[in-house]
Structure 1
């Protein structure tokens, strides 16, 4: 789960990360008032959406006066901001963050991420801030400093000092960097985060370190014990398909294709999407119905897939172990009869009670396309979508 910049800053500030003074604004008049509260001098007005690259898309501006802040807020609020991370749909701007302008002498990058290869929390830092980490890795990989944290000891203070030295900091800035790094680690650890990013972390003209921008993501599976984090969720910023699936207990990731996938097991889902691409198609989603799928759950999976208007065919690929093919078949038939489907459905069943499942599909009297192998199912799904697409 992602949160907004102002929420991430509020969390990090509680753990001891220095951030510029600022406040939230929901209207142009409130943006002007916030700017006056900050002293009436130059301020920065930022669109609050779940995406990076806001500045490039026109979502961030330095305003020299409260009147300028009001004018920019009026042009920005209610607008759909399209960045390179949002895709064509963009994100709607319904709130702004107004903060005091900062005298910047140097920009740096600091991030904490989960490194699945080493199964450790990894710190990634660079002397060059203000850029996306992917761009830094491509344009200047030598500038990246990586440091792995041992879970047995946690972050050790000497590691934070070494990081400060690697970024070229000296004197009092080293102690400030140690404070920032340790605070970020505690926030990451204590709140079940999956990412903490400060970009840029700046050195001011006075020599102080301040987090000018911040992002945090959290482990969705741990939200049940982090209610204060769960309360920060902004559904308006989420893919409506994924939000709908989450509310119904389904693992779903929206993609850009037009072949809807209903599958059990993440590995089988990945293989199915690969086979669809090999066959010349493109998956519209990743949907894992999980184990013990009842007919009602399968029917709900169909409803979830159909929330995407781009879907032109649905591929059901089930390898039953804990699941049973007859349960899935009953769910497919129930969905086709109750949802009045207008798109073709390709069904491939294998595993527990497969013969009974195939009999249910065969005797349903519905125009369901069946397949015996994954490759055959992918080919038939691609073939079935072409007349619909045309």
Structure 2
């Protein structure tokens, strides 16, 4: 499972579209632009990319109002859609505005760098929705946990939810609960959440139906988080999603391409943008049957990893941190699934470009580790690394990089000998170890190499 956040704009469109398919479910206020089964969420997106692609901001907003006529005759809410919370507490929400004021609010903040909870980032995407008057705010959250799916609900939603967390009730729907057993979920799990004097009795049936439908949608769409804070009831007593957060299991994308929609994106977390090297590896991963991952943590780090296997990659990173070198860890990297030699070569080249960048006279270590492979040809995968090291041998020498290899599995002896010979040929320090050596032993060796150079 890989939990990935999506924008509120995409989350609301996705949830609204599927809730409307549920029998008897009606959404109010900002829920939809009409009552049909194909209704779209009344929400509009403004991004720096879309503004730049238009001939002018005026033409963009004119086209946007043609697509969403309610923008011209409805009071509006405007807020950033950048995967961070507490927008209200940070004065980043405009309420009860007209379309002109909404445009001005966005223009004043688009491209601005702001600090949210100690993380700086640039505002590039905003959301515009109808303003919905309401009297009471609720909190709803469905989240995947080890025991199953946890449902939480409280009559105390809004920006003060953390101060009222003791008023939120939670139940866990055990793993394996049939999705079709809606009456069971409704009666055994949802109704107990509504046993609160703060919830009007005449609204409990509507809320129970809505929460049950949300749970069904959550399961159907392979969500890992669905949070509505606040959730409200409009003047007609219909559920209205005011603010929401959605996370999806990205590993389920192979079966959900149609239901999620082809235009769904998984943005980077707030304050982070993919580097060129990360984008290159992402493109390789998208086209490969193997797994190729790269995250740059510290471009100026002295400890770098190229690890075979997802589990092993985490173990190596943990060991570096445990030994006090977390600040020097340059990256998280993982390749697995028996990549082709050419794929390993291109992957290693991309990584080595980072490892050797801006040589400053200090030593650096590259840990090429992994467990004992079941089916990957070690000689073949190390062959790709060998080609990349050959291409970069001059830069490796200038950056004082020492390579530490620890691998095991099919044909590992030939692969290790290949690396040993390569070090002698290129005159770069390479140490190799097989499965008889503790997997993380090369971490301490890498640290020693770096420290002896001070």
Q: C-alpha distance in 2, partners of 1:253/1:193?
A: 24
Shift of 1:335: 1.4
- Structure 1 residue 58 displacement after superposition: 5.1
Q: Given that residues 298 and 332 in structure 1 are in contact (C-alpha distance below 8 angstroms), is that contact kept between their aligned partners in structure 2?
A: yes
Matched residues in 1 for 2:296 and 2:227: separation?
25
TM-score by length of 2: 0.71
User: Deviations 1:119-138 (Å, cap 9, x if unpaired)?
Assistant: x2221333433359xx83xx
**Aligned with residue 313 of structure 2, among 269, 279, 299:** 269
From the superposition, tell whether residues 274 and 147 of structure 1 become closer, same or farther in structure 2 (CA, over 3 Å): same
The farther-off stretch of 122-131 and 186-195 is: 122-131
Find the counterpart in structure 2 of residue 125 from structure 1.
153
Question: Does 2:190 align with 1:190?
Answer: no
State the secondary structure of the residue aligned to 1:358. Answer: helix
Higher CA-based Rg: 2
**In the alignment, structure 1 residue 245 sits paired with structure 2 residue 281:** yes
Which residues of structure 1 form unaligned runs of 5+?
none
Query: TM-score, structure 1 length as denominator?
Result: 0.82
Aligned CA distance change for structure 1 residues 122 and 173 (closer, same or farther; 3 Å)? same
In the TM superposition, residue 212 of structure 1 has moved relative to its aligned partner by 0.6
Question: Given the superposition, is the C-alpha separation of residues 285 and 197 from structure 1 closer, same or farther in structure 2, using an over 3 Å criterion?
Answer: farther
Q: Structure 1 stretch 188-197 or stretch 38-47: which is displaced more?
A: 38-47
Aligned to 2:9: 6
**How far does residue 375 in structure 1 lie from its aligned partner after superposition?**
4.3
State the match for 2:348 in structure 1: 302
CA 1:58/1:339 → structure 2, altered by over 3 Å: closer, same or farther?
farther
The worse-fitting range, judged by mean Cα deviation, of 211-220 and 369-378 is 369-378
Change (3 A) 1:103 1:185: same
Evaluate the alpha carbon distance shift between residue 290 and residue 44 of structure 1 in structure 2; reply closer, same or farther with a 3 A threshold: same
2:377, 2:391 → 1: CA distance?
21
What's the CA shift for 1:347? 2.3
Alpha-carbon shift at residue 76 of structure 1 (Å): 2.4
Aligned to 2:419: 361
Question: For 1:174-218, what per-residue CA distance to the aligned partner results, in whole angstroms no more than 9, with x for missing partners?
Answer: 122123212322222222222222122134577553111122222
Q: Which structure 2 residues correspond to residues 1-390 of structure 1 after superposition, within 5 A?
A: 1-14=4-17, 15-16=19-20, 17-18=27-28, 20=30, 21-25=42-46, 26-27=50-51, 29=58, 34=65, 37-38=70-71, 40=73, 42-56=75-89, 59-62=92-95, 64-80=97-113, 82-84=115-117, 87-88=119-120, 90-93=121-124, 95-115=125-145, 117-118=146-147, 120-131=148-159, 136=162, 142-150=166-174, 151-154=176-179, 155=182, 156-158=185-187, 159-166=189-196, 168-204=198-234, 208-228=238-258, 229=260, 231-234=262-265, 237=268, 239-240=273-274, 243-249=279-285, 250-252=291-293, 254=295, 256-257=297-298, 258=301, 259-282=303-326, 283-305=329-351, 313-321=365-373, 322-339=375-392, 341-342=395-396, 343=399, 344-352=401-409, 353-364=411-422, 365-366=425-426, 367-370=428-431, 372=433, 373-383=438-448
Q: How far apart, in 1, do the equivalents of 2:225 and 2:72 lie?
A: 33
Q: Residues of 2 paired with 1:243 and 1:19: CA distance?
A: 40
Distance 1:165 1:307 in 2: 59
Number of corresponding residues: 380
Question: Is contact 2:28–2:239 with CA below 8 Å preserved after alignment?
Answer: yes
1:267-286 CA distance string (max 9 Å, x none): 32222112111222123443
